[in-house]
Structure 1
Amino acid sequence: MRNKLFSLSFVMVMILSSTLAGCGSNNGNSTNNGASATDKPAATNTETTGGDTTSNATAEPAAGADISGKITFLTNRTDMIGKEYDEYLKRFNEKYPNVKVEFEASQTDYNQQAKVRMASGELPDVMFIPTIPNSDLPKYFASLDDLGLNDQITFKDFKSFDGKLYGITTGNSTSGIVYNKKAFTDAGITETPKTWDEFLAACEKLKAKGVIPLSSNFKDKWPLGTWAYDTPRLIAGNPDFPNEKLNSETPFTMDNGYGKAFSLLKELNEKGYLEKDINSTNWEQSKKDIASGKFAMYYLGNWVINQVIGVGAPSDDVGFFPFPYDNSGKPSATLSPDFFYAVAKNSKNLEAAKAFVKWMIEDSGYEDFAGFISPLKGKESNLAQLKEFQATGVELVEGTVDDAKVTEIGNKAQLDLPAVVQEFVLAKDPQTVLDKWNKAWAKAKKDLGY
């Protein structure tokens, strides 16, 4: 039975490298589909309005001139410094004219830089939460329960501890089929597939037209995260499916979420619906090939939509629909969060910092710029592709937090799920691949006393 409330863990496989043109963090057990981070250097840009009045109020942020002070926001979005952030600040200051905001660009690995700042005790007023245990959140960050958003936001429990909220996601990503509409039309495909059989039929039409149906980017491995993390939990009908490995000595079987998901990709490869040589794919070139219609589809996160448009595809030619992994005709897809906003516990202008975070969530429109689904439940996207996706009635499955024990066992077993997908697809007898990793899992689990 499908669980309603939303997911993915997407492994997050990634903070994707800059070749991805920017990915965010994934905070669940799935593949990272975020598209917010950018590591290119950029100078810090400061926009100022108002004074430096200190305020440590913890009540819900007041409006307008009642709030004043200077705050700093440490961001990974170096590409927005001096551009979109300037526009955001002008609009923010229309509501909060006496708050001065400085945008500080992370010049290196954001996660590492944030941890260094935390260790030094010199935190910016507003930042994204790095990878730390939730039990450490109260040491560094202020509770955000007083913003009045608790019942409206997705992934409320991801950055909470002891019943208090410390982080709010900047936006969410989902996975699905990003496709070239013109390629579909030229191949005589008049409706997007709603079942696996319809999907295979569409692939056959595309192949007959000389179009490669699906770009897998098999060699690069990280794009296989959708097959390794998203699809298994959807097939299992359980957002917490990856964490259930803790209760098994043989978590990988042909008839569970893992085996069935991996088998779908293997079938596509055997039918000739992937790249002709899956061992020599090229990520950057694939975006251009999708844009031109040489390739028809990606199975990736919505973050890639703007990248395909960015290399030349007209926006009207790019569509997005749920991946039909079975024949039920009932679409579902995983949902995963990107980075989480947080406010430093020791901020000298706590009220101003919280007001800025709330404004970014409710009023900035950042989710549309970044290609995200809003962190606010039920808020419809302004992006045409996401509107198309949501119009299918897709059930979004909100991911669960990674179980620390599952992560520990996986690390000891040297388990790399996208690499397992590669082995499975190429194997003459895929059962031997599952047996191999079941053995590694069981040994690691035993060695760790679980």
Structure 2
Amino acid sequence: MKNRWLGIAALSALLLSSCQSELQDSAAVQAPKPVTLTWMHHFEEDGARKWLKAGTDKFKQSHPEVSFAIEGISGSIYMSSLRSKVVTDEMPDLYMIDSISETKDFIDSGYALNLKDAPFLSNIEDKFLNGVRTPDGSVWALPIDMNGAGIIYNKDAFAKAGITHIPETWEQFLAVCKRLQKQGIIPIAAGYKDSWTISWDLNPDLIANLLASDPDWMLRIEQGLAGFDDGQGRFAQVLTRFGQRLAYTNPNPFETDWNQALGLLASGQAAMIINGTWTVDGVKSLEPDSRIGLFAFPGTDDPKDAKFAVKSTGGIVVNPKSPHVELATEILELFSTQEVGRVFQQDKKAISVIKGLTPDLDPIYAEFNRLYLEPSRTVDWSHITAGFEDQRLNKAYVNALTEFIVDKDHNVEKCIDALNQSFNTIRRRR
């Protein structure tokens, strides 16, 4: 009897061991394989990077097999870096774009997934999809925020100089600059060491006072159907105002990078930066307690013309050639939720385009909403082209503006002639 029970015990142990082995083998088969998703972006501000990390960390909670290789590239070389990835066939699984009009080559070469049937697009305010939608109804990116082009200012610097009202005309703006300079405050911080800031220093004026009434002006120039002296001379007026305010930037702007310019504004050493609303995130990342405000570029002598340029034309793009398209699309679904949108508004200090989120999560944007959004004192530039698809033209544009800045006379006619000549040369070679 004893031997019989020993035999049964041995058989049971064998069967149990076999079952455990089969379960382990089954688990090994069913366990998802580790996946690394690549994501390229151009965010230099700490808040935007926190938002990306918060969203991807949230995704990993439900997808523990997924890890992320997130690469941040300086805005000055971001697009050229992306295009080099196309050449080497190393495009990331996800990437950010600012405008589908300036990244049409990615769409044409099959590196942007058409999202038009994605159910999560219903989470986005429909008006903000217009900027990422082409005439055929295709949607090429998940928009994340409404950004704008205008002036970001330090309220304490204004108060120190005794300035109680934001300028609403060009004459008032120059008077404010003079007053700030007399008080030992740099009126305008410029970080031209990062070349992308040069064209963006011009954009708030260019968009509101030229492109708003002639949205295809730069497109016609790219196609050779117009020159920089066309458009009723409005580009010359933009350049003239640019030259007039260059006297009020910090010394050695070409030795100052974007982060240093942000530091000047955050500390109150400088009073203003002329750029995009993402500047708020950059300043707040350096000095969370700094009192920052926004106002429209006042490019004329009529206060009614001082409108803030706002749009939503870029966002997150999925690479359809990625081996992980389904996972990447799931990430977009998560980033379209109110939960991640709230993180975006709190950390990036920007206005989310997700339904149900109001722009009053930060005092800066509550004021911006009251002054510009609610009374419709805005210019919608979602369908305005403020750059050139051909990167050789973009480079020539920035080079000519650089020469204009360096030229102590800031000769407008000379700059326009140089632009026309360089663009004609590039077009002939093309």
Displacement of 1:267 after TM fit? 0.8
Secondary structure at the counterpart of residue 126 of structure 2:
coil
Are 1:261 and 2:238 matched, yes or no? yes
Displacement of 1:299 after TM fit? 0.7
Show the 5 A alignment for 1:165-314: 165-218=139-192, 220-236=194-210, 237=212, 238-245=214-221, 246=223, 248-252=225-229, 256-269=233-246, 272-278=247-253, 280-312=255-287, 314=289
Q: 2-side partners of 1:185 and 1:134: how far apart?
A: 48
Q: 2-side partners of 1:164 and 1:105: how far apart?
A: 28
Secondary structure at the counterpart of residue 248 of structure 2:
coil
Displacement of 1:323 after TM fit? 1.8
Q: 2-side partners of 1:414 and 1:347: how far apart?
A: 33
Displacement of 1:192 after TM fit? 1.7
Matched residue, 2:369: 390
Cα 1:254–1:278 change in 2 (3 A) is farther
Structure 1 unaligned segments of length 5 or more: list them. 1-50, 55-67
Q: 2-side partners of 1:278 and 1:116: how far apart?
A: 31
Secondary structure at the counterpart of residue 272 of structure 2:
strand
1:197 and 1:327 in contact (8 A); partners too: yes
Letter in 2 for 1:146: A
1:252 and 1:437 in contact (8 A); partners too: no
Residues 89-146 of structure 1: CA distance to partner in whole angstroms, max 9, x if unpaired?
68679xxx9665724113586875898699779975x665795432334x76354423
Cα 1:52–1:343 change in 2 (3 A) is farther
TM-score w.r.t. the length of structure 1 is 0.67
Letter in 1 for 2:302: S
Matched residue, 2:296: 322
Displacement of 1:204 after TM fit? 2.2
Compare 191-200 and 146-155 and name the one that shifted more: 146-155
CA RMSD of aligned residues (A): 4.4
Letter in 1 for 2:366: K
Q: 2-side partners of 1:276 and 1:121: how far apart?
A: 41
Secondary structure at the counterpart of residue 191 of structure 1:
coil
Cα 1:314–1:251 change in 2 (3 A) is same
Matched residue, 1:370: 348
Displacement of 1:257 after TM fit? 3.7
Letter in 2 for 1:74: T
More helix by proportion, 1 or 2? 2
Q: 2-side partners of 1:230 and 1:53: how far apart?
A: 55
Q: 2-side partners of 1:118 and 1:80: how far apart?
A: 31
Secondary structure at the counterpart of residue 391 of structure 1:
helix
Letter in 1 for 2:352: S
Q: 2-side partners of 1:80 and 1:276: how far apart?
A: 28
2:161 and 2:179 in contact (8 A); partners too: yes
Secondary structure at the counterpart of residue 298 of structure 1:
strand
2:108 equivalent among 130, 135, 143: 135
Q: 2-side partners of 1:195 and 1:81: how far apart?
A: 33
Matched residue, 1:104: 68
Secondary structure at the counterpart of residue 422 of structure 1:
helix
2:191 and 2:257 in contact (8 A); partners too: yes
1:228 and 1:418 in contact (8 A); partners too: no
1:172 and 1:373 in contact (8 A); partners too: yes
Matched residue, 1:145: 117
Cα 1:436–1:309 change in 2 (3 A) is same
Secondary structure at the counterpart of residue 326 of structure 1:
coil
Displacement of 1:155 after TM fit? 4.8
Cα 1:414–1:140 change in 2 (3 A) is closer
Cα 1:160–1:103 change in 2 (3 A) is farther
Matched residue, 1:332: 308
Displacement of 1:266 after TM fit? 0.8
Q: 1-side partners of 2:268 and 2:166: how far apart?
A: 16
Q: 1-side partners of 2:135 and 2:88: how far apart?
A: 20
Letter in 2 for 1:320: L
Are 1:341 and 2:330 matched, yes or no? no
2:207 and 2:309 in contact (8 A); partners too: no
Matched residue, 2:18: none
Displacement of 1:296 after TM fit? 0.8
Q: How many residues align?
A: 373
1:249 and 1:441 in contact (8 A); partners too: no
Cα 1:240–1:348 change in 2 (3 A) is same
Compare 191-200 and 215-224 and name the one that shifted more: 215-224
Letter in 1 for 2:260: Q
